[in-house]
């Protein structure tokens, strides 16, 4: 009986872990950082850098609360970056089919970032502006 309970517990844990897979994309962060370091660049085309499936991307500024992110995206999201207490990064969160799939921390490095007047970016319109200080 005890072995069955342990087996069932492990299966449930594996299912829950597999269902909530959100990747911290450090490769994307490095690619973005290379573009930001180039003082001749004034924007980042995220679609040319993203090598995964996504349909929406949200850019959150420093000090954004997790509740605000969830409200804007319309999905539950566990913010592992703790951006609510940080001023050194922007957070770029990607969704695919209404599920968070990846996120990237964009270091500010004397820059701020913005998207056009839309609420989020898409693969067809994936430009992030670099606003240097």
For 69-97, write each residue's pLDDT tens digit: 999 999 999 999 999 999 999 999 999 99
Model confidence at 11, pLDDT cuts 50, 70, 90, reads very low
With 0-12 CB in 10 A as exposed, 13-18 as middle and 19+ as buried, what is 57?
buried
Residue 39: CA atoms inside 13 Å, Cβ hemisphere, count? Answer: 2
Cα(69)–Cα(66) distance, integer angstroms? 5
The predicted pLDDT at position 1 comes to 59
C-alpha dist (Å) from residue 49 to 89, 97, 127: 19, 20, 11
* Residue 74 within a domain: yes
**Cβ neighbours around 7 below 10 Å, total:** 10
- Would the pTM of this model clear 0.85, i.e. be above it? no
The predicted pLDDT at position 7 comes to 57
* Better-predicted residue by pLDDT, 129 or 8: 129
For 89-120, write each residue's pLDDT tens digit: 999 999 999 999 999 999 998 999 999 878 99
With 0-12 CB in 10 A as exposed, 13-18 as middle and 19+ as buried, what is 47?
middle
DSSP 3-state assignment of 49?
A: helix
* Residue 3 within a domain: no
* Residue 26 within a domain: yes
Q: Name the residue range of residue 54's domain.
A: 22-132
The predicted pLDDT at position 92 comes to 98
The predicted pLDDT at position 5 comes to 62
Does the pLDDT of residue 20 top 70, yes or no? no
* Residue 41 within a domain: yes
* Residue 124 within a domain: yes
Cα(124)–Cα(47) distance, integer angstroms? 8
The predicted pLDDT at position 14 comes to 43
**Closest by CA position to 23, among listed 85, 104, 133:** 104
Model confidence at 15, pLDDT cuts 50, 70, 90, reads very low
Average pLDDT over residues 3-8: 60
Total count of domains within the chain: 1
């Amino acid at each position: 009986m005890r072995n069955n309970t342990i087996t069932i517990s492990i299966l449930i844990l594996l299912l829950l872990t597999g269902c909530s897979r959100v990747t911290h994309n450090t490769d994307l962060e490095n690619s973005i950082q290379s573009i930001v370091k180039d003082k001749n660049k004034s924007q980042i085309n995220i679609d040319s850098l993203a090598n995964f499936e996504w349909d929406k991307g949200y850019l959150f500024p420093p000090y954004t609360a997790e509740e605000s992110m969830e409200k804007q995206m319309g999905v539950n999201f566990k913010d592992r970056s703790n951006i609510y207490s940080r001023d050194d990064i922007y957070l770029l969160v990607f969704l695919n089919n209404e599920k968070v799939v990846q996120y990237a921390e964009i270091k500010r490095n004397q820059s701020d970032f913005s998207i056009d007047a839309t609420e989020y970016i898409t693969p067809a319109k994936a430009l992030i502006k670099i606003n240097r200080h």
